[in-house]
């Protein structure tokens, strides 16, 4: 039931009738006064009638619920059907994970996760625009990021061993900020190698250097 019209001798009576009919409290209703019909001289004599329109007030969704719905809508637009779950990754960082489970997930992941990163960027902007909040989010599809994390860890350790063995700096392929953070965190307390980001723009290379080489700020 979208909306109902009810009448009462007073505004309060009309609202009570609407609340009973919609089985809701007044605070959960949007009320619009349609007509006040007063009979008599200056309203002092005769009867008065108030007609209102009442409808259930739309409940404000949370950023997480809005994000889930937006991702599902984007999926339908792309001809895909999938399930989205949300969970908080870390209480300290407040980062929220949107986990998509989809049979055709590779379409949304793209080469080296490029499409996935774009999807995450769109979701972050949409939430920020609607809620005026810079919510820290992470979008994952079929556990891709965990697999990518494992692959990056293996690769980074191999490059670190080579850097220590040869005494030379070793550079990775261009990586997005999330992937670079994985490598920086991996060697954060390592006494044998240091890391830094190199390049401009969204994707940069990570330089892995044996201890003793100049170290610059991580980005």
Q: Could you give the 3-state DSSP secondary structure of residue 49?
A: strand
pLDDT of 33 higher than 80:
yes
What is the per-residue pLDDT across 184-202, written as a single tens digit (0 to 9) for each? 999 999 999 999 999 998 8
* The predicted structure's pLDDT at residue 202: 83
- Contact status, residue 128 vs residue 135, Cβ threshold 8 Å: yes
* The predicted structure's pLDDT at residue 38: 60
* The predicted structure's pLDDT at residue 168: 95
Please give the angle made by the CA atoms of 139, 145 and 150, to the nearest 5 degrees: 165
pLDDT of 215 higher than 50:
no
Q: What's the rounded Cα separation, in Å, for the pair 123 and 119?
A: 6
Q: Could you give the 3-state DSSP secondary structure of residue 214?
A: coil
Closest of 78, 71, 83 to residue 107, by C-alpha = 78
What is the per-residue pLDDT across 121-137, written as a single tens digit (0 to 9) for each? 999 999 999 888 888 89
């Amino acid at each position: 039931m979208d909306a109902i019209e009810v009448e009462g001798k007073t505004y309060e009576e009309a609202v009570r009738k609407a609340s009973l009919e919609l089985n809701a409290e007044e605070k959960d209703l949007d009320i619009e006064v349609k007509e006040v019909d007063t009979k008599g001289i200056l309203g002092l004599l005769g009867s008065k009638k108030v007609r209102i329109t009442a409808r259930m007030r739309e409940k404000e969704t949370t950023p997480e619920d809005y994000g889930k719905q937006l991702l599902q809508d984007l999926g339908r637009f792309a001809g895909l059907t999938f399930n989205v779950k949300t969970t908080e990754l870390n209480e300290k960082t407040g980062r929220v994970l949107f986990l998509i489970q989809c049979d055709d997930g590779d379409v949304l992941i793209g080469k080296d996760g490029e499409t996935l990163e774009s999807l995450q960027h769109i979701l972050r902007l949409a939430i920020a625009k609607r809620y005026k909040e810079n919510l820290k989010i992470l979008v994952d599809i079929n556990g891709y990021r965990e697999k990518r994390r494992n692959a990056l860890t293996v690769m980074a350790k191999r490059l670190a061993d080579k850097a220590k063995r040869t005494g030379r700096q070793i550079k990775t392929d261009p990586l997005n900020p999330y992937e670079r953070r994985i490598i920086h965190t991996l060697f954060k307390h390592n006494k044998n190698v240091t890391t830094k980001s190199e390049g401009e723009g969204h994707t940069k290379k990570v330089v892995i250097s044996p201890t003793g080489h100049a170290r610059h700020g991580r980005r």
